[in-house]
């Protein structure tokens, strides 16, 4: 087996060899601890038949661990300066493809269809760039890609919000958006010391396993997500106040909103954070029908 990229010394050598300087604006915090990488891959339960999508391979620290135990890795990297480095560091692996592209602009479905024929399942595994974690996760989930799941490192604070339950201060529209599509779990808290440079915030690894179908039935997904976001716009306000001030013509439709809340047995003076995902689904299905 080849020497791991993810040791402080080897990483330093590689960066020095190529005169690479980190771009903070691209969320470049590289992992330099092989044990953490091994654990991340274990949580993803990869097999020789798994196709893996990685976002932001950096200098290939996680990529090589993925390549060793999966069928194929396709990694999207936005920073062109890393391409010659990756070509060098990942040269021992013939099952890795690097795509030089912003993941947010990529046609991931097309890439999956082209690159992953013959794989049994597809996982996304990544140490995400922290400035875009939420848009990346929402893109991967809303585009209805044939993924088994997602195992990613991100800010602990975001992981807490994603896996939060109703009634907690972390619970909000992000918890609902992610849990609507997946079973979400924080599987590991990660200290800052395993990165170079060290990020300013604590990190965590989450595992999102796609549900066969969303956890609740909604008639219009876009409207459902709009209602949840509006309900949390000002956390200290009641659900009624958020909906009347946040929905178009909300004030004129106050009575309709009150009767809709009563219809689904939700007291209008409750706060959004106390409503379950099922209650939000019921609410959006009723409002969709009654609002003009
Ligand atoms: N996987 C490497 C590791 O664990 O050491 C690097 C992880 S680093 C936190 C994030 C990586 O994502 C960087 O390589 C960065 O250049 C890349 N990146 C940032 N924004 C991106 C985007 N929109 N699309 C694809 N890659 C991106």
**Rounded distance from Cα 198 to ligand 1 centre (Å):** 14
How would you label 224-253 residue by residue, b for 16+ Cβ within 10 Å and e otherwise? bbbbbbbbbeeeebbbbbbbbebbeebeeb
Distance CA 172, CA 158 (A): 11
At 151, phi and psi to the nearest 5?
Answer: -125, 115
**Rounded distance from Cα 103 to ligand 1 centre (Å):** 10
Please indicate whether residue 109, judged by its CB atom, sits closer than 6 Å to ligand 1. no
ipTM field: 0.99
**Rounded distance from Cα 27 to ligand 1 centre (Å):** 6
Per the CB < 8 A criterion, the answer to whether 102 and 39 are in contact is no
Q: What are the tokens at 56? A: 């932001």
Mean pLDDT of the chain: 97
Please indicate whether residue 89, judged by its CB atom, sits closer than 6 Å to ligand 1. no
Q: What is the pTM of this model?
A: 0.96
State the pLDDT confidence band at 292, using cuts at 50, 70 and 90: confident
**Rounded distance from Cα 221 to ligand 1 centre (Å):** 30
Is residue 20 predicted with pLDDT exceeding 90? yes
Q: What are the tokens at 259? A: 């009767």
**Rounded distance from Cα 30 to ligand 1 centre (Å):** 8
**Structure confidence by residue, pLDDT tens digits, 105-129:** 999 999 999 999 999 999 999 999 9
Confidence (pLDDT) at 2 = 72
- Given ligand 1 and candidates 23, 56, 81, 108, which is best to mutate, with the most ligand atoms within 8 Å of its CB? 56
Distance CA 184, CA 162 (A): 7
* CB contact set of 68 (below 8 Å; sequence gap of 6+): 1, 93
87 SS3 class = helix
Please indicate whether residue 190, judged by its CB atom, sits closer than 6 Å to ligand 1. no
Is residue 67 predicted with pLDDT exceeding 80? yes
Ligand 1 atom with the shortest distance to the CA of 136:
23
């Amino acid at each position: 087996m080849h020497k791991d990229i993810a040791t402080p010394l080897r990483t330093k050598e590689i960066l020095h060899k190529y005169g690479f300087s980190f771009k903070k604006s691209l969320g470049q915090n590289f992992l330099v601890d092989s044990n953490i990488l091994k654990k991340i891959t274990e949580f993803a339960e990869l097999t020789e038949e798994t196709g893996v999508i990685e976002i932001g391979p950096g200098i290939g620290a996680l990529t090589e661990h993925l390549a060793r135990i999966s069928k194929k890795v396709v990694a999207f990297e936005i920073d062109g300066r890393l391409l010659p480095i990756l070509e060098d560091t990942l040269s021992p692996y013939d099952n890795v493809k690097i795509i030089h592209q912003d993941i947010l602009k990529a046609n991931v479905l097309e890439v999956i269809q082209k690159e992953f024929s013959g794989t049994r399942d597809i996982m996304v595994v990544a140490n995400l760039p922290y400035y875009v974690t939420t848009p990346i996760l929402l893109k991967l989930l809303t585009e209805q890609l044939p993924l088994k799941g997602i195992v990613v490192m991100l800010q602990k604070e975001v992981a807490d919000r994603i896996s939060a339950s109703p009634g907690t201060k972390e619970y909000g529209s992000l918890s609902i958006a992610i849990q609507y599509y997946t079973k979400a779990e924080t599987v590991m808290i990660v200290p800052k010391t395993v990165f170079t440079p060290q990020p300013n915030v604590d990190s965590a690894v989450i595992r999102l396993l796609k549900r066969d179908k969303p956890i609740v039935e909604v008639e219009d997904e876009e409207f459902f997500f709009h209602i949840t976001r509006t309900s949390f716009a000002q956390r200290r306000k009641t659900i009624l106040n958020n909906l009347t001030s946040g929905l178009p013509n909300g004030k004129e439709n106050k009575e309709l909103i009150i009767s809709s809340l009563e219809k689904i047995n939700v007291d209008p003076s409750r706060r959004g954070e106390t409503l379950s995902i099922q209650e939000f689904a019921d609410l959006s299905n009723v409002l969709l029908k009654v609002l003009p």
